Amino acid sequence: MAQEEIATRAPESDAQEDSTVTTEQSTQSTPPIATPATVPSMGDHCTSDRPTPSGALPSGELTTLNNVPVYIAKPADYPHSPSKLLLLLTGGTGLHSPNNQLQADQFASQGYLVVMPDQFDGDPAPNAVDMTKIEETTSWLESVKLRTAEGVKAFMIDMWLARHTPEKVLPLLRKVVEGGREEFADAVANGGGIYGVGYCFGAKYILVLAGEQADADAAQAPRDEEEGPVKREPVLRAGAIAHPTMVSVEDLEAVRAPVFIAAVQDDPLFPDEEVLTPGRRAMEKNGVEHEIQVFSGVPHGFAVLGDYDDPKIKQSQQEAYAQMLAWIREH
């Protein structure tokens, strides 16, 4: 994709950067406004839903699988026609988000039996503070209040992330995988394994499940006296992710199953120089089949299903879905 100049952010874009504030002229000096010292670890898309497409209603089922709450979306003709099992991992809005459920339905309409687990154990991300656009007439006091709200939101997200570490998330996902293999053995057999798609927070765990150590904690894995832990096969046959967060180079170095990555140009939540480029080189070195598509002119979170006013986001969202679907179909 040709590199395009980043467009002016739409109202629905993520609040990843500090807003510019123009204050009223006053005889009093304006006190400094504190700004976050570090880049946020998650964007607003992971804490609040975008508008749901008009007239769209989820058609799947909320149930449990191996004692874990899940949303299951099935093809209309299942089980009379063969299906493939697809694990869908969401951003922080989680299991009960109508948009996430509709996303699962969308993949089900293409012949996949979709299992979307509650990877947050009933504790989705805190709702984002409504950071209404700051107008030029905003007083400095109002600006301070808005920035304070933004700081509180960031603190809440950090506290929430501290509750949802790999040590807590992965055991839930492994239970769902085990339950899926048993409950939907026909779909697993038909697809030759389990496929996975992930957005934002969930994208990291699709990479982990596509890695060689995904089936067990490293500390508990069988060990060879000379070579250390015995490597495990990936849980997933293939995976496709969009704008991941919290991903490390080590996550990408461990990947062994084919993966597709829809990234955002100049994304501070998935930085190119620090993570994406060295991760790409590692996959090339390891002979891992992969494809990376970089989208420009859209915010982090653009691929999460929702009704956006910006036609650029709408088009890119559709393109990312089509590319992710094509990847898992081809593998």
| Structural domain range at position 317 | 44-330
Residue 28 lies in a domain: no
Q: Decide if 263 is inside a domain.
A: yes
Rounded CA-CA distance 177/71 in Å is 14
pLDDT mean over 300-318? 91
Q: Identify whether 32 is part of a domain.
A: no
Q: Are 102 and 58 in contact (CB under 8 A)?
A: yes
Question: Residues of the chain with pLDDT > 70: what percent?
Answer: 72
Q: Which amino acid is at 175?
A: K
Q: Is residue 20 part of a domain?
A: no
- Residues 36-50 as b/e (b if ≥16 CB within 10 A, e otherwise) read eeeebebbbbbbebb
The helix (H) or strand (E) run that includes residue 64 is strand 61-65
The CATH number linked to 307 is 3.40.50.1820
Residue 1 pLDDT more than 90? no
* pLDDT value at residue 288: 98
How far CA 326 is from CA of 107, 260, 302, in Å, comes to 11, 10, 18
Tens-digit pLDDT profile for residues 195-242: 999 999 999 999 999 998 644 444 444 555 565 555 678 999 999 999
Q: pTM of the entire structure?
A: 0.79
Q: At what angle do helices 201-209 and 166-183 cross, to 10 degrees?
A: 60
Q: Is residue 142 part of a domain?
A: yes
- Is the residue at 7 inside a domain? no
Residue 176, token pair as written in the block: 């769902």
Helix or strand holding residue 71 (H, E): strand 68-73
What integer pLDDT is reported at residue 230 of this predicted model? 59
Number of domains in the chain: 1
User: What mean pLDDT, rounded, does the chain reach?
Assistant: 81
DSSP structure string for 154-172: HHHHHHHHHHS-HHHHHHH
> Can you give the pLDDT at residue 308?
82
Distance CA 203, CA 1 (A): 22
CB atoms within 10 A of CB 51: 12
Has residue 68 been placed in a domain?
Answer: yes
Q: Which residue has the higher pLDDT, 42 or 305?
A: 305
65 pLDDT more than 70:
yes
The rounded distance, in Å, linking the Cα atoms of 110 and 83 is 9
Residue 3 lies in a domain: no
